[in-house]
Structure 1
Amino acid sequence: MCLHNWEDWFHFFTGFVAFITFSAGLVLSSPSQVPILFWFSLFAPVLVPLCMYLLFFSVIGALYAIGKTLLWLKNPKGQVHNFPAEIYEAPDISDGFHYESILESLPTYSYQKQPKDSDSTCSICKEEVQLGEVMALLPVCVHSFHKTCIDPWLVTNMTCPICRCRVDQEIPREVLVFSEY
């Protein structure tokens, strides 16, 4: 028997369910088992196909999981082989010197009162910035934070907490030209 498409599978399962239901009716046909036959005849048309479909989809799910596991075993580190490496190479921060040089190069300033409509809260600690507090400015995206908040953040992330812009990128020329005015 060849089951090549879903219609063949459907006919196979419905025929099998009908056979099981009919066979169970013949086995349970003695007079002492009439209540059992009654309950079986009520629930068999629902439970038997339900069990068959659950079995079918369990087998399909197991095959899918086995396939995914085999693919993972071929590539255990989750490497994406079609991603071009020349687009981005992360800096080596294993020795710790890279982020320290960036932290030291961040411009700092003493906070002065801003116009009423500007936001004066640090996005990391969510506290209001007080007059005279030391702030650090990220030069690429021009977001500012408490110096004591942004330093620990950049040790682990190297991105702006607001816009996720990498802080170790070169500043675009447009920003430099704009900031001269």
Structure 2
Amino acid sequence: MFPNPVLQAPAPIVTRRLRLRAPKLEDAFEIDPIYNDFEVARWINVPHPCPTGFALERFQRFLTFPPHERCFIVSKKSDKKQRAIGLILANWTDAEKPPIIGFFLASRFHGKGFMGEALDAALKELFRLTNAEAIRASFYDGNIASDVLLKKKRFKPVGTSMDFNRATGKTEKQTDLILTRSVFEAE
């Protein structure tokens, strides 16, 4: 339903302040401390504390460039080493549902507009890549930053669901949202 003709590292996307690029194995070592920051992990459903090797295992999968997902490493354009400051992951394994997107940013980069800028570029690429009519997202109750950002990007709430959060060890309520292609393109 959602094709992905690119089975190799996709070209980077450059925005005003950021570069969204394909993952490299070394990124796991920059993402690992973010996974271990409870203020981030609490909202992204990774184990906390994050076990040694967890990030490395995930990145080994990302490096296969699965045809049903796209991982964008977010880095500052001004950083010559292109160190990872965050990640956007989209997945469209379930052909019955629109692709789903998730994201996170290192705490020290919160509140600077970086994720909004990165999401604009990632959403444009995902609509182009998948030809989907909508993209889904979710956030745990209490995640005010994601709530505000997704609504600013014109995602609309479509309901709630329950999800086991590995960081807190509890089943938690989350808000489910959708962004339609027509709303996205009306900008």
The alignment's TM-score, normalised by the length of structure 1, stands at 0.21
TM-score (ref. length: structure 2): 0.21
Structure having greater relative contact order (Cα 8 Å, sep ≥ 6)? 2
> Quick check: which has more Rg, 1 or 2?
1
Q: Which has the higher strand share?
A: 2
Larger helix percent: 1
